Amino acid sequence: MDTTVPAQNAPRVLPRAEWVKTLPQTIVASCVLLLDAEDRILLLRYAGGQPAAGLWGLPGGMLDHGEDPAGAARRELHEETGIALEGDLPFIGYDHRADVLGTGPVIDFYFHGGRLTAGQPVLRSTEHDQHGLFALADLESTPLATGLATLTALLNAARTGTVVCLRDGLPR
């Protein structure tokens, strides 16, 4: 015989739809690491008026509702550079950042887009005002949206075919 007695004033269990609204929200983004024949990294500089104006970062951006990370990486790369990639995009890492520009947590997925061909045109979107190919050694005094430690870890992952797990831009 069950002798338990319901507790007085016990909190009610929320219906699922209400409970889901109480869960933490995280922004999810995808970025693409593209290299040239000399292992220089394609970076874009955010234009004035953008939250990261003046900073250099990898092509990429937030996922649309229902979009998968690899699909978002392809879409963002094409929107920001005019470059369309065929075939698989190897997954090379992720980064959990606790807070980005006051928006709260962000999870970035990183994919290796392969190598750019010599003379590959880059057709920037209005979101960016410059682009360039950079060796890691050239980035020590460059204002970066994607940190040097992150770029170093991603370049190593792309070279070795491994996956890197980052926390706030640093390998774990």
Range of the domain at 149: 24-171
Structural domain includes residue 141: yes
Residue 6 lies in a domain: no
Torsion sign (Cα): 72, 86, 90, 40: negative
Nearest of 60, 71, 66, 65 to residue 30 by alpha carbon? 60
First-to-last alpha carbon distance for the chain, in angstroms, is 52
Domains held by the chain: number: 1
AA letter at 87: G
| pLDDT digit string, tens, across residues 113-126 | 999 998 899 999 99
Please indicate, yes or no, if residue 130 is contained in any of the structural domains.
Answer: yes
* Domain assignment present for 10: no
CA atoms of 53 and 85, how far apart (whole Å): 27
Asked whether residue 10 carries a pLDDT value surpassing 80, the answer given is: no
Taking residues 13-20, what's their average pLDDT? Answer: 86
Burial 42-55 (b: 16+ CB within 10 A, else e): bbbbbbeeeebeeb
- DSSP class of residue 148 equals H
CATH of the domain at 48: 3.90.79.10
Per-residue pLDDT, 1: 64
Task: Report yes or no on 4 lying in a domain.
Answer: no
pTM over 0.95: no
> Pick the residue with more confidence: 65 or 9?
65
Residue 74 domain flag: yes
Does residue 120 form part of some domain? yes
pLDDT mean across residues, the chain: 92
Instruction: State the pLDDT at residue 7.
Output: 67
Give residue-wise pLDDT tens across range 48-91.
999 899 999 999 999 999 999 999 999 999 999 999 998 899 99
Whose CA is closest to 27, among 102, 96, 101, 107? 107
Is residue 11 included in any domain, yes or no?
Answer: no
pLDDT given for residue 34 in this prediction: 98
